[in-house]
Structure 1
Amino acid sequence: MSLPPPLVPAHRDLPEITIKALVLGIVLAMLLGAANAYIGLLVGLTVSASIPAAAASMGLLRLFKRSNILENNMVQTAASAGESLVAGMIFTVPALILMQAWDTYQYWPCVTIAIIGGILGVAFTVPLRRALIIEAQLKFPEGVVTAEVLKTGGVETDKSQAATNTNPAREKDFKNLLQAAGISGLFKLFESGFGLLAGSVATTKAWFAGSFLFTGSFALSPALVGVGYVVGLNIALLIFLGGAIGTLIGVPLNWWLNSNELMGLSGIAAHTPTSEFSQTDWNNIASQAWSQNRRIGVGAMLVGGIWSLIALAKPLIAGVKSSIAAYKTASAAGSNEVLRTEHDTPIHYVLWVALAATIPLFLVFYNALAGYNSAALIAAVMTMLMLFFGFIFASVAGYMAGLIGNSNNPVSGVTIATVVVSAFILLQLMGNQGLAGQLGPIAVIYLAALVCTGAAIAGDNLQDLKCGHIVGATPWRQQLFQVIGVASAALIIPLILQILDAGYGIGRPAENNPTGSYLSAPQASLMKDLASSMFGAGLQWTFIYIGFALAVVLIVLDEIQKRRGSNFRIPVLAVAVGIYLPLGLSVPIFIGGLIAHRLKNKNKLIDKSTQQQRENSSLIVASGLITGEALMGVAIAIVAAFIMPLAHTASFAWATGLLALAGVVYYQARKG
């Protein structure tokens, strides 16, 4: 079955690379990258920026005399590249701080890792575009939705022609994006800035004479409601299920089976009767029990990452073969025969980029291993591993984006596999004695960061190229703008990380607020634990083994669902992330998923065109909720870190916070 022709046919050459598209792409790449850093570090999930970038681009380009859909597409391409690059970095780089390899987020090493990983991610997907988009005809759902959003603006706009100057759908979407961002931004300002709204509500209770320990929490966050709406009920429910396993079931069960150890970890003398426990004692016990339980998520993530590779081996090989065959066919036809809408970056350029990247890659690893006797040899091995894993996992990420979308792409799963495999290889080469035991985990995290950024960009790149294929973009121009988005976001990533770490703390409390809540950075914490444990720092494996077993059960159930043809799937990584995260974060995500499911059922009775328009508008509102809170969170972090301490939370804030969030939930539901 052939794909429908592009909206802008190949023989029509509209302006794509323009000054205004370039400037807007760079600015939005930086802004959305900063927003994604906050959300990703908070909850361990990131969402594609293509849809809000497309809406923002259309709203801003309407201020110019002339614009067209291909310019809009270029802007969203660069902007979403910045968002995806940040995702790859925040899942890995904070591990270097947590393992005390770095004292601060070093600017040039961060920028170098981001640019090399990002550009290689773009390069690796050039030969995959035709195989996955045209030959395999994968869905790439977010690319399709982004194209539908872009179509609402029309093909061309010219202010000298009043009839084509206004599109009600485009105007409404842009206003909704700004409105939703404003609402969530104000929520965050009154919460963290003024202390008039609570950021969460939580309770810990001991029942039945202390034999049953209950603990629960609820994060009050418009952004997380938006995240739940974007990922949908299936993923949102699984994340919540993971939270229930780790907290609602796991904490009382752990207390019942392991009370003496938990008392010792909480500083309570043995044989102290539970009737003498204070509320602080119960809180500490619940915290220790949950900290142990989250290792179940570690085990499930490990198995899930390996399973992702096994499950994708066959389609990956087929996709690469198809890509090579398509390239040979195009080469035989001659460059003059290639249509504009099929004109990729020449493959020899891609090969030169990969070859040239070996030099900075070698230097990155060599500097990370400074002081080790065989640093040059190990750096050479790590460079080869990066090129090998980079291409394999970029292909996996691209294929998964085609199946389930970039927001649900298990990039962290393949990164976990990278950490385990590369740590095992390095352990054989270096051992774990003396300096090798210190530098080995650092080199592993460097490799994981490069692979993760490349994989994240690969999934996003192919999603955008799918959108471009629908609207009629020129592939090589999109690939160029993808590189521009990478470079733009790379320049600000270390600054944003440093600001968020100083203002909130990443993976642990900030130095200036040791008792405050912090950004959990679940993936980075996991990478640090895995890399360190592989080199002998010691990781308690009992709960991880439980995670292994749970993952096997979930994989079997998912395969059953797959064979039944069910739309409800059970990806291991979604449950594992839920176990690893505090329960409170999964509750608003679940609420967002419920809203999405309700609106989807409600809209089933209307015609397809109106249904698609409503779904697009609802996604834009959800994206606005995410972006507004995240950007305000970055701004407040700057104030907290460098200007003044934040206000204390008022005693009534839990009530006003619940009421305010209920209003946000009602707003998201009504806008759908």
Structure 2
Amino acid sequence: MQKNKEKSLTLLSILIGIAGAIPVSASSFYIVLKFGALPWPTIMVTLISISLLKLFKRNNMKEITVTHTIMSAGSMVAGGVAFTLPGYLLLGGNLKDIDKMLLFFTILTGSILGAFLSYIFRKKLIEEEGLEFPIGEAAYTLVSSGKNKDSMKIVGVGTLISSVISIFRDFSFFKGKAPFIPTVYTLKNGMLSFYVSPLLLGIGYILGFTNTFIWFLGGAFIHFIAAPIAKFKNIADFDIMKNSFGMGFMIGIGISIIIKILLPKKHETDTKNNAKSLKISSINSAPVLGILTIFAFIIISMIYKISPFLSIIVIIICILCAAIAGYSTGKTGINPMEIYAVISILVISFLNSLLNGLKIGSSVFSTNITLLTLFFIACIVAVACGLAGDILNDFKSGFNMKVRPFEQFIGEIIGAAVSSAVITFLFFIFFNIYKNIGPMENSDLIVLQASIVASVMKGIPFIHLFWLGLLAGLVLNMLNLPVLTFGIGIYLPFYLTLPVFIGGLLNSIAKKISEKFSSDALLFANGLMSGEAITGVILSIIAYVKLFI
């Protein structure tokens, strides 16, 4: 009986959660800008929460769950920003044109929408659908395992090794000389290159062999088959062609997810209890969704000064894409946020071109959509979808732990608000320091997803390949084939794919050794991701400070 009265959201959990949310959001922002990939930080922050609360002699598992909920919020918020707004700079936009307060407000708006939508969808996806949410399940297992001290030692070793490698790769100790470790190592024959990155190995290990192998197949198809054929036929626009196909492929997967949500499940029975449960769910959710829609409509219309019609469209896109994000995360543990940004830009751009300047009687309709406003809208949607996936993982862990969902919801709002401020600050630091951005080898920041989002601004090049990719992604995912990572392999540079695949291969080997070895290796992989990401943020801030010395 006493256990049920344990508090989850406490002052200590809030303070520790905020302290953890700052480095987590900062490191996640660096990861996605540098590598074009964003791992879930849930396992890492769960371990940190366990250890820090233990210092205060707190072993309340519910309090731990809420603490790691606050910490992890910033990761997917960072992804939503990094997947969209750098695209504005890639298209020639000026960093000085981006107002700091408006950027902060944009990120915060997306965060609030994502938190509310995930709270609304929680009952349907977790309690009624019973989706797996593997990251959330892993966090629950970790909290209830009790092996806190030993686990933190393993993560610490991984963090230390990763940090050392990152420093020797990214920092030059002697003026005018290259760092000791090359960023990209190329074999003598020049056929293969791979990024020297502990972080990418860690990502691969956590994704596992199946996902990384499919990822590898997507990259291998492009690198070993499609690219040589294009070179033989002197096709100069091959990279644009394969990105068009890859983008269509990922959007096709997104559409199939919507269809799966809408289609009735064969195993469901129309019992009275089931119908009553669904009815109760919809009654509870409808008023909240209605109030949220009105609130979002007023805010978006006033702040961005766009037409009421387009404001409603933005909100509808946000709701639908957040549902897709939740379903995708629950089924695969993967949340392709760039797809939601692309959908937003495609729909709003089309409507803008259709309606702007349209004469209605004696008046002329104006949509008032600028390039920057369009990227702000895409950012809102991407952040909302990213946060929806994150908090639904946390809700899954909390559901198993019997934590009150509302307390986790409040925790997510707190973490997202803090992270919004951190990411706004770092956005201007990074893009003042790093000028060579784009998905090219040896670029300072790869901003891969943002470049794909930016590419649709001028219309979709090679539209026939886009539709072919869309059809392929739609059909294959409807057949329940694990093709989500195949699309990532298509447009991610192969030198980044290789270390990810090696990480997945190591996962398979570790599982064959023993369950304990595999579990410890998972903790070590989280350390590898943490060390490189945190080191990258520190080096970036040092470089920024040097500009003023």
Q: TM-score, normalised by structure 1?
A: 0.72
Which range is displaced more, 412-421 or 292-301? 292-301
Q: Who is 2:18 aligned against?
A: 26
* 2:276 corresponds to 1:357: no
Please give the secondary structure, in 1, of the residue aligned with 2:95: coil
8 Å contact from structure 1 (residues 40, 46) kept in 2: yes
CA distance in 2 between counterparts of 1:323 and 1:440 reads: 47
Please give the secondary structure, in 2, of the residue aligned with 1:201: strand
| Change in 2 beyond 3 A, CA 1:464/1:616 | farther
Picking from 516, 527, 536, the partner of 1:633 is 536
Superposed CA offset, 1:544-586 (max 9, x none): 53354355446545555x3xxxxxx332x42232222221000
Picking from 469, 480, 483, the partner of 2:413 is 483
Q: Who is 2:68 aligned against?
A: 76
CA distance in 2 between counterparts of 1:596 and 1:140 reads: 19
Picking from 473, 477, 482, the partner of 1:570 is 482
Q: Who is 1:171 aligned against?
A: 149
CA distance in 1 between counterparts of 2:275 and 2:34 reads: 40
Q: Who is 1:464 aligned against?
A: 394
| Change in 2 beyond 3 A, CA 1:634/1:505 | farther
Picking from 458, 461, 467, the partner of 1:533 is 458
User: 1:299-310 counterparts in 2 under 5 A?
Assistant: 299-310=248-259
Q: Who is 2:175 aligned against?
A: none
Q: What displacement does 1:492 show?
A: 0.9
| Change in 2 beyond 3 A, CA 1:524/1:142 | same
CA distance in 2 between counterparts of 1:245 and 1:395 reads: 31
Q: What displacement does 1:419 show?
A: 2.2
* 2:430 corresponds to 1:500: yes
Superposed CA offset, 1:363-383 (max 9, x none): 3321xxxxxxxxxxx432232
8 Å contact from structure 1 (residues 140, 402) kept in 2: yes
Please give the secondary structure, in 2, of the residue aligned with 1:139: coil
Superposed CA offset, 1:253-308 (max 9, x none): 1121126xx4xxxxxxxxxxxxxxxxxxxxxxxxx754654444234334344344
Q: What displacement does 1:149 show?
A: 0.6
* 2:372 corresponds to 1:379: no
CA distance in 2 between counterparts of 1:315 and 1:115 reads: 35
| Change in 2 beyond 3 A, CA 1:411/1:309 | farther
For residue 493 of structure 1, what is the amino acid of its counterpart? I
Q: What displacement does 1:482 show?
A: 0.7
Q: Who is 1:421 aligned against?
A: 347
* 2:447 corresponds to 1:521: yes
8 Å contact from structure 1 (residues 44, 577) kept in 2: no
8 Å contact from structure 2 (residues 437, 443) kept in 1: no
Picking from 572, 593, 604, the partner of 2:504 is 593
Please give the secondary structure, in 1, of the residue aligned with 2:263: helix
8 Å contact from structure 1 (residues 41, 506) kept in 2: no
Please give the secondary structure, in 2, of the residue aligned with 1:45: coil
CA distance in 2 between counterparts of 1:100 and 1:414 reads: 23
Q: What displacement does 1:331 show?
A: 11
Please give the secondary structure, in 1, of the residue aligned with 2:185: strand
CA distance in 1 between counterparts of 2:248 and 2:69 reads: 35
CA distance in 1 between counterparts of 2:275 and 2:188 reads: 58
Q: What displacement does 1:644 show?
A: 7.1
Q: What displacement does 1:600 show?
A: 2.5
For residue 182 of structure 1, what is the amino acid of its counterpart? L
For residue 306 of structure 1, what is the amino acid of its counterpart? I
| Change in 2 beyond 3 A, CA 1:145/1:110 | same
For residue 365 of structure 1, what is the amino acid of its counterpart? Y
CA distance in 2 between counterparts of 1:420 and 1:292 reads: 18
Percent identity over the alignment is 26
* 2:57 corresponds to 1:65: yes
Structure with the greater alpha carbon radius of gyration: 1
8 Å contact from structure 2 (residues 250, 473) kept in 1: no
Q: Who is 2:229 aligned against?
A: 253
For residue 576 of structure 1, what is the amino acid of its counterpart? G
Unaligned 5+ runs, structure 2: 173-178, 359-365
Superposed CA offset, 1:41-75 (max 9, x none): 23332121111110011111111133411111111
CA distance in 2 between counterparts of 1:550 and 1:204 reads: 34
CA distance in 2 between counterparts of 1:476 and 1:589 reads: 36
| Alignment length (residue pairs) | 531
Q: What displacement does 1:229 show?
A: 0.8
8 Å contact from structure 2 (residues 49, 64) kept in 1: yes
Q: Who is 1:579 aligned against?
A: 490
8 Å contact from structure 2 (residues 9, 66) kept in 1: yes
Q: Who is 1:237 aligned against?
A: 213
Q: Who is 1:182 aligned against?
A: 160
CA distance in 1 between counterparts of 2:169 and 2:442 reads: 13
Structure 1 segments (4+ residues) deviating >6 Å? 321-324
8 Å contact from structure 1 (residues 77, 482) kept in 2: yes
For residue 510 of structure 2, what is the amino acid of its counterpart? L
Please give the secondary structure, in 2, of the residue aligned with 1:230: helix
Q: TM-score, normalised by structure 2?
A: 0.87
8 Å contact from structure 1 (residues 401, 409) kept in 2: yes
Q: What displacement does 1:439 show?
A: 4.3
| Change in 2 beyond 3 A, CA 1:95/1:517 | closer
Superposed CA offset, 1:577-618 (max 9, x none): 222222100000000011112223333xxxxxxx3x655433
8 Å contact from structure 1 (residues 118, 486) kept in 2: yes
For residue 336 of structure 2, what is the amino acid of its counterpart? P
Q: Who is 2:361 aligned against?
A: none
CA distance in 2 between counterparts of 1:11 and 1:348 reads: 33
Please give the secondary structure, in 1, of the residue aligned with 2:125: helix
Q: Who is 2:465 aligned against?
A: 546
Q: What displacement does 1:428 show?
A: 0.9
CA distance in 2 between counterparts of 1:94 and 1:488 reads: 21
CA distance in 1 between counterparts of 2:407 and 2:2 reads: 14
CA distance in 2 between counterparts of 1:449 and 1:126 reads: 20
8 Å contact from structure 1 (residues 305, 416) kept in 2: no
| Change in 2 beyond 3 A, CA 1:64/1:309 | same
Q: What displacement does 1:328 show?
A: 5.6
Unaligned 5+ runs, structure 1: 1-8, 154-168, 206-213, 263-287, 333-343, 367-377, 563-568, 604-610, 646-672
Which range is displaced more, 462-471 or 306-315? 306-315
CA distance in 1 between counterparts of 2:274 and 2:115 reads: 15
Q: What displacement does 1:315 show?
A: 5.9
RMSD between aligned residues: 3.3
Specify which structure has the bigger relative contact order, considering alpha-carbon pairs within 8 angstroms and separated by 6 or more residues. Answer: 2
CA distance in 2 between counterparts of 1:599 and 1:57 reads: 26
Q: Who is 1:107 aligned against?
A: 100
Q: Who is 2:7 aligned against?
A: 15
Please give the secondary structure, in 2, of the residue aligned with 1:12: helix
CA distance in 1 between counterparts of 2:41 and 2:498 reads: 23
For residue 188 of structure 1, what is the amino acid of its counterpart? S
* 2:202 corresponds to 1:226: yes
Superposed CA offset, 1:122-177 (max 9, x none): 11122322222112222111111100111124xxxxxxxxxxxxxxx210111112
CA distance in 2 between counterparts of 1:11 and 1:61 reads: 17
Please give the secondary structure, in 2, of the residue aligned with 1:66: coil
